[in-house]
Amino acid sequence: MNKKQEDEQMETMQNGYKKISIGLIAVLLGLYIMKYTDLLSFIDNTLLSYWIIPGIWCVVIVLYYTRMPRTHTLGKLKFRGTVYAWAFNCGALFIGVNLLAGFIQEFGKSPYSHSLKAIGMNMLVVGSALVGRECIRSYLVNVFYKKKQVYFWLIIGVMTVTHMNGFQNTDLKDIESLTIFLAQQVGPEVFENILATYLVLYGGPLASIIYLGMIEGFEWLSPILPNLDWLAKCLIGISIPLISSAFISNSYMKLAKYTKSYGDQGESLWNWLPTATICILWIWFTVGVFPIYPSVVATGSMIPMIDPGDVILVDKITTVEEIDQLAVGDVIQFKREDILISHRVIDIVEEEGQRRYRTKGDNNSSEDSELVKMEDVKGTIIHVIPKIGWPTLIFKSDNPDILDEVEF
């Protein structure tokens, strides 16, 4: 066979790999549509969830191991056992940290049934999807990884998007709710997929199946589960996969003695650690973990001090002593029902033996109709950052009532 024929044969093989990869991505998107949309609402949900979708996953698994052409993997066969051990340790670490957080916060009863029938059906549904997804992930990684680095991250993006319920049933009404959504759902999902992709890169689909299977098994089989708040879920869901990914990538490069071009990828993951830390601290700042938190103003009641779209920094008031220090002229943020309002104190009065605050927007023609109770005061406005809150107003603009009421 001459060089030209070899090149033609190689091109034919590559085209075949690409077609299969496109087909596998189509399967992911199709299953996502079947699971998370109402396009197949005419099919009984039990039939769809417990038989049709798992059946499709089983077909994918069988085709992967029997019919799809083999692809060259980056990971060396002699190191597979080591990668499997790393995957097991990473899964144990993730579960252990969650258990520790559960002891610090609290545990709750599992929402899943633990009858033999329920366990069997759940393992069929969850297990088939897990194995099928990791087979697809492995094939995509082996086909595209060495072409360009961007393909690696595109694979992670595809695997992330097709495993999330997206914005469905998510109330993104302000910057805080958007931050919580990104921190609780998007962030952990992205970093879990980063780790899973590195595992299949070095150890094949079984490596990521070990890691994800341990986590899924713990969640579905344990009678009690850590009942963590979203901040703890965010911190654990981002930091543990990130640290594990950096460790595995760096350790494998040293173990296999790859060239520097590959080794740089492992080292670059460690550079993500400060970025992830900054992101987590920003999330905590945004939702009010620290003494000062941001809030977006949607209306012009405090013009010229605060314009619509400005972000105000609020110094939280948490003690009676801090409440007592409030004076006429202070601009406070207070809560009325589910609405945050930022207005100036124009008078302090006694009502029913308790202090009350009369407030007014600088740009309003009259004072507020209700006095503010001490317990409703959230904090004082200490700084205004112009205009950077405009993107948040996009989420509010779909609901005029919210836009008119969130900040007066």
Over residues 384-403, the pLDDT tens digits come to 888 776 665 555 544 444 44
Overall average pLDDT of the 46-67 stretch: 91
Report the pLDDT value the prediction gives residue 16, as an integer from 0 to 100: 74
* Residue range 93-113: mean pLDDT, rounded: 88
Q: What is the pLDDT at residue 270?
A: 53
The residues facing 131 across adjacent strands are: none
Confidence check: pLDDT of 13 > 80: no
Query: Is residue 132's pLDDT more than 90?
Result: yes
The amino acid present at 401, given as its one-letter code, is D
Structure-block tokens of residue 141: 């990684």
- Write down the pTM of the prediction: 0.67
Residue 109 has pLDDT above 80, yes or no: yes
Residue 172 confidence (pLDDT): 62
CA distance 116 to 243: 36
Of 193, 199, 196, whose CA–CA distance to 80 is shortest?
A: 199
Tokens 């296999």: give the residue: 256
Question: Does 105 score more than 90 pLDDT?
Answer: no
Query: How far is residue 341's CA from residue 218's CA, in Å, rounded to a whole number?
Result: 44
- Which of residues 288 and 36 earns the better pLDDT score? 36
pLDDT at residue 358, as a whole number: 92
| pLDDT for res 192 | 93
**What is the rounded CA–CA span in Å between residue 295 and residue 174?**
9
What's the gap between Cα 81 and its chain centre?
A: 31
Residue 204 has pLDDT above 80, yes or no: yes
pLDDT score, position 216: 93
pLDDT in tens, 212-241: 999 999 999 898 999 888 778 888 888 889
Contact 69, 15 (CB under 8 A): no
Q: What is the pLDDT of residues 246-289, one digit of tens each?
A: 888 888 887 877 544 444 444 455 555 566 666 666 665 665 66
Side-chain-side CA neighbours of 133 within 13 Å: the count stands at 28
398 vs 3 pLDDT, higher one: 3
9 vs 348, more confident: 348
Q: Walk me through the domains of the chain, giving residue ranges and CATH numbers.
A: 11-286 (no CATH), 292-405 (2.10.109.10)
For 131-152, give the secondary structure using H, E and C: HHHHHHHHHHHHHHCCCCHHHH
For the chain, give the percent of residues with pLDDT over 90.
Answer: 23
Angle between helical axes of 205-221 and 80-104 (0-180°, round to 10): 30
Res 408: pLDDT: 40
pLDDT, position 280: 62
Per-residue pLDDT, 146: 67
Report the range of poorest mean pLDDT among 119-133, 202-216, 271-285, 320-334: 271-285
Q: Which helix (H) or strand (E) holds 21?
A: helix 3-36
Q: Mean pLDDT score of the chain, rounded to an integer? A: 81
Mean of pLDDT values over 60-86:
85
Q: How far is CA 243 from the centre of its chain?
A: 16
% of the chain beyond a pLDDT of 70: 80
Task: For residues 376 and 341, give the distance between their C-alpha atoms in angstroms, rounded to a whole number.
Answer: 10
Q: Is the pLDDT of residue 178 over 50?
A: yes
